[in-house]
Structure 1
Amino acid sequence: MDYLDYFNDDERAPFRPDRRVVMDRSNPLNDFDEIIFRDHFRMYKATAADIISLLETRLSSDSFRGMPIPPSLQVLITLRFLACGTFHCETGDLCGVSEPTVCKIVHKVCKAICELKDDYIKFPDAAGQANYKVEFFEYGNFPGVIGCIDGRHIPIKCPSTADSEEYRNRKNWFSINVQSVCTPTMQFSNIVARWKGATHDSRIFQNSCLYPQFEGGQHSGIILGDIGYAQTNFLFTPYLHAVTPEQQRYNQAHIRTRGTVERMFGVWKSHFQCLRNTLRFEPRRCCIVIIATAVLHNYLKQHEMLLLGG
C-alpha cells in the first residue's frame, strides 16, 4: 500500500540535548476533568480511552532516557500533538517529557495507528457503492456517484534533501499533496499521502491503485473531481463554460455533490490542528502523521464522536 513505504525508517534523528528533564509525569486521562480534557485533546475522555485500548497491544512500554513511558501515555502524548498542532515542547510540558522524546513517541504511535488503516479506510464494495449512489443523489442530485476526489496540500518544513524544491507547490510553500476520496458521510474511502507538493492532482490519481481499478471496470459508479483532473468515463469534472440550461444544472449538481470532499477536509483539518501548521518532520514521517489523522478521523466519525464545534 502507498503508506507502507514509509514504515521501514531506519534513520536516526540528529541528537539534540534535552531542554529539560521532568520527573513528574501526569496522566491527563486521570488528572483532567472532562472539559479541560476536551479542550486539550479535542475528544472525550471515553473516546481517548477507547483509542488507547485499540493501540496499547501494539505499543511497548519503552524507556526514554531511562524512564519508562507506558503505552497509554504515549497515545495521549500523540493525540495531544495531533489535536493542538503546536510545538512539541508544549505537548511535552503537558505530560512531563522532553521535546525529542515527544517526537519519537509521535512517530511510533502514528505508525501503530497507520497499521489500522485497512480497518477504517475502505473503498466501498458493490453493496456499499449502491448505497453511496443513493446517498450522494439525495444530497446533490447527481446520479451514479460513489465518491468525490480532491487533493489537499499539507504544509511541511523545507526538506534538507537534494529534491527539496520538488516539495514546493504552486503557492510557493513546501507540502505533501494528499489525494483523498470521500464518502457521503465525509469519511475517507481512499487516501494517498506520499507525493511531493509540486505534483499535479491528475498525476497522483493516474498513478494510484484506484485508476486501473476504474479503468478495468471494477467499480460500477463514478467519482467527481474538479477541473484539475482529466475528464474520463469514470471521473466527471464540471463544464468550464456552462452555456445551456442542462450544462448549468449539471454544474450545480456537481458543485453541490463534490462539496462533500471540501467539507470533509475542513472537518479533518479543524479537528487535527497539526495539519494546519507546518509539520516539522522529514517528509516520510509527515506522510505517516497524515495517514494516522485520516484513520482517526474515520474512527471518530464511525463512532459519532467528532467534536465539530471544537
Structure 2
Amino acid sequence: TNKAAAHRNLRRCRNNRRLRVERVFLDRTNPLEIYRDVELYKRFRFTRDTLQFICEICFDVERHTNRSLPIPVALSVCTYLRYVASGDLQLTVADSTGLSQATVCRVCAQVSAILAAKVSDFVKFPTGIDAARVKQGLGAIAGFPNALGCIDCTHINIKKPNENVEDFIGRKGIPTINVQAICDADYKITSFTANWPGRTHDARIWRNCELRNQFENGQHAGLLIGDSGYGCSRYLLTPYLRPVNQSEDRFNRSLCRTRVMIEQTFGMLKNRFGILGRKIRATPTRAVQHISACIVLHNIGIARNDSVEIPEIDAYEAAQPVANPPDNVDGRAMRHFITETYFSRM
C-alpha cells in the first residue's frame, strides 16, 4: 500500500511539472499618450515638448530582443525621470510604471549613462560672445563687474559605501558627495565636479579642478564669485571677512546678492530632482552618474525655458563667514582694485 501511494505521488508530481505556466506581459503604455500636460509635469517635472526632446536624445536606450517586447524609449525615459524626481525606491517606481524592479534598475542605469555622456554637449563654460553675455547678465543683478559665474559646493547624500567610508562622511556625519558647480545669470550650470567624497573641503576641490588651471593660464578673461570657503585670488573673489569701511561693505553686499544665484541653482536642482535632496541609494560611482544626468537635464530645462520655481534665499544669511583658506597677494590686490574702482563712489 505504501509503495502504491508513493507511485501515485510520483505521477502527480510529474503531471504538475507538465503544466504550462502562462507568462504575463504587463501593459507597457506610453506615458506621453495617456497623461495630460499638467499630469506629465507633476509626475516627471518636465513639459511634453521637453520630454519628447529628452526621448530623442535617449533613443539608444531601446533594445530589440526576441525574448519579449522591448521597452519603449518614452517609457524608459519617463521611468528614470520618475525615479530621480521622486527619490523613491526603485520598487515603488516599478509599481507605478508597470515594470519589475529589476527592469527599473536596468532602465535607470541605461538612461543615466546616456545622459551623463552628454555632459560636454550641455555643460559648457562660457567663452567669446557667451562670456560677454554672462558678464552682462550677472552685472545687471547687483552691479558686480566682469563676473563669469558664481561658484560653490553642495553635499548630496548617498548610501553608506562599502569602501573608504570615512572619506565620504561630511560635516553632518552622513555619507555624501561634495559637488562643486558654477552657474551663470540664467541659473544654468556651466561647470561642475562631482567625483569628490563629502569629507573633501571646497577649496581642495577647486585647487584640483581643470577649470582653475585654465584660469591660471589666462584662458578666461573674467572673475568667479565665491564665498569665504575659498581663498581670494586674482580670478576668484570672496567677501571681506571684516569690512572696515563703506566701500568694502558695498563690495560685500554686491558680491552676496550675485553669489546667491548658485545657492538658488542648487535649490532648483534639488526641488526638481528629489533624489538629490533626499538620498541616492547607489554606489558612489553610480551616484556620480545620476548627479551628472540630473545636471544635464537641468540645463536642458533652462535652455528650453522649462524651469522650476526659483527658491527665495536670503543673500546675506547664505553668505555667513566660514573658516577660509589664506588669500594670496594677487587676490587681495584684485579685490581692493574692484572695491576702489566700482564701490567707493556710490
- TM-score surpassing 0.5? yes
Quickly say closer, same or farther: Cα 1:94–1:145, change in 2 above 3 A. same
Which position in structure 2 is the counterpart of 1:13?
none
Distance in 1 between residues matched to 2:303 and 2:66, nearest whole Å: 34
Which position in structure 2 is the counterpart of 1:54?
57
What displacement does 1:36 show? 2.0
AA aligned opposite 2:45: R
Q: Which SS does the other structure have where 2:58 is aligned?
A: helix
The 5 A counterparts of 1:67-216 are: 67-161=69-163, 163-216=164-217
RMSD, matched Cα: 1.8
Which position in structure 2 is the counterpart of 1:3?
none
Q: Which SS does the other structure have where 2:40 is aligned?
A: helix
Distance in 1 between residues matched to 2:140 and 2:227, nearest whole Å: 20
Distance in 2 between residues matched to 1:255 and 1:43, nearest whole Å: 31
The 5 A counterparts of 1:26-41 are: 26-41=29-44
CA contact (8 A) 1:55 1:113 kept: yes
Asked if 1:42 is matched to 2:17, the reply is no
Q: Which SS does the other structure have where 1:75 is aligned?
A: helix
* Runs of 4+, deviation exceeding 3 Å: 62-67
Quickly say closer, same or farther: Cα 1:233–1:26, change in 2 above 3 A. same
Distance in 2 between residues matched to 1:289 and 1:212, nearest whole Å: 26
Q: 1:57-104 CA distances to partner (integer Å, 9 max, x unpaired)?
A: x32326699553122221111111111111112211222112232122
AA aligned opposite 2:217: G
State which structure, 1 or 2, has the greater radius of gyration over its C-alpha atoms: 2
Which position in structure 2 is the counterpart of 1:260?
261
Which position in structure 1 is the counterpart of 2:303?
302
AA aligned opposite 1:25: R
Distance in 2 between residues matched to 1:64 and 1:78, nearest whole Å: 24
Higher relative contact order (CA closer than 8 Å, sequence separation 6+): 1
Distance in 1 between residues matched to 2:134 and 2:191, nearest whole Å: 14
Distance in 2 between residues matched to 1:62 and 1:149, nearest whole Å: 43
Distance in 1 between residues matched to 2:206 and 2:66, nearest whole Å: 41
Distance in 2 between residues matched to 1:276 and 1:74, nearest whole Å: 23
CA contact (8 A) 2:150 2:183 kept: yes
What displacement does 1:126 show? 2.4
TM-score (norm 2): 0.79
Q: Percent identity, please.
A: 34
AA aligned opposite 1:55: C
CA contact (8 A) 2:62 2:70 kept: no
AA aligned opposite 1:125: T
Distance in 1 between residues matched to 2:90 and 2:303, nearest whole Å: 29
AA aligned opposite 1:45: R
AA aligned opposite 1:48: L
Which position in structure 2 is the counterpart of 1:280?
281
Q: 1:177-223 CA distances to partner (integer Å, 9 max, x unpaired)?
A: 00000011100000111000000111111111111111111110010
Distance in 1 between residues matched to 2:215 and 2:38, nearest whole Å: 46
Distance in 1 between residues matched to 2:134 and 2:223, nearest whole Å: 11
Q: Which runs of 5+ in 1 are unaligned?
A: 1-20
Q: 1:225-277 CA distances to partner (integer Å, 9 max, x unpaired)?
A: 11111111111011111121111001000100111111111111111111111
Q: Which SS does the other structure have where 2:145 is aligned?
A: coil
Query: Which stretch shifts more, 40-49 or 147-156?
Result: 40-49
